[in-house]
Amino acid sequence: MKNRKRNRLKGYDYSKDNLYFITICVKNRVCCLGAVGAGRLVGTGRDLSVRNPENNNPEENQSNDNISMQLNAYGLIFEERIHWLQEQYKYVEIHNYVVMPNHIHIIIEIDSLKVKDDDVKIKSLSSLVGALKTTSSKLIHDSGFLDFAWQRSFHDHIIKTERAYNNISNYIDLNPEKWASDVFF
C-alpha cells in the first residue's frame, strides 16, 4: 500500500480550543457550486469589499469591486450547512468563509468554554468537517446531483497569531477576485 502524506499535525489534539483555517475541495475540482462573476456578494461570511472613496479615478474604482461568488443551488446547500454546523455544535463558531465554484475556505473556532456547564464531548476538527461533507453530500444528492463527491480529506492550518488570522481572513474575502489565478481553478 502506498504511504500517504500525513494530513494532520502529529500529536496535536484537533478538538482543542483554537482557530483553524480549512479548505475543502470538490472531487476532481469540478466547478459545481456556482460561478465567479460581477454582481451581489453571495457565499461569504461577510461583505468586506474594499472601497476607496478618495480615489476619483473611475477606471480604478471599477476594477474588482463587483467580482463575487454567485452560488447555485448546490453552493447554497453547502452555505446552509455551514450555518447548521454552528447551530448544531454550540462550541463551534464560524469566523469567515467563502464558497467558491469547486472549493470552500472556512475559519472555524472550537471554543469549549461555550459549553463548559454542559456535558458535551467536543468533536475533533476532522469529525466536524466530516459532518459538513456528509450532510451536504446527502442534500446535494437529494437535489439531483447524484455524481457529486468531495475530495478525500481536507487541508487545515492552525491559526496561531492575530496577524495570521487577519491574513487568512483577507485571503478568504479576496478569493473571488483572485479566482482566475487560483490554484483550484
Q: Above 80 in pLDDT, residue 47? A: no
With a CB cutoff of 8 Å and minimum separation 6, the contacts of 148 are: 26, 32, 74, 137, 140, 141
Provide the domain count of the chain. Answer: 1
With a CB cutoff of 8 Å and minimum separation 6, the contacts of 145 are: 32, 74
Low-confidence winner among 46-50, 162-166, 168-172, 174-178 (lowest mean pLDDT):
46-50
**Mean pLDDT over residues 67-89, rounded?**
96
pLDDT band at 37 (very low <50, low <70, confident <90, very high): confident
**Distances, alpha carbon 134 to alpha carbons 16, 49, 78, 95, 101, in Å:** 22, 32, 11, 21, 19
What's the CATH code of the domain at 74?
3.30.70.1290
Alpha-carbon distance of 91 to 8, in angstroms, equals: 21
Residue 57 lies in a domain: yes
Residue 3 lies in a domain: no
Residue 102 lies in a domain: yes
Residue 7 lies in a domain: no
- Residues paired with residue 36 on neighbouring β-strands, in sequence order: 69
Residue 98 lies in a domain: yes
Q: State the residue range of the domain holding 160.
A: 18-181
* Average pLDDT, rounded, for the chain: 84
Residue 139 lies in a domain: yes
Q: What pLDDT, in 10s, does the model give residues 126-170?
A: 999 999 999 999 999 999 999 999 999 999 999 999 999 999 999
Residue 5 lies in a domain: no
Residue 2 lies in a domain: no
The model's pTM? 0.80
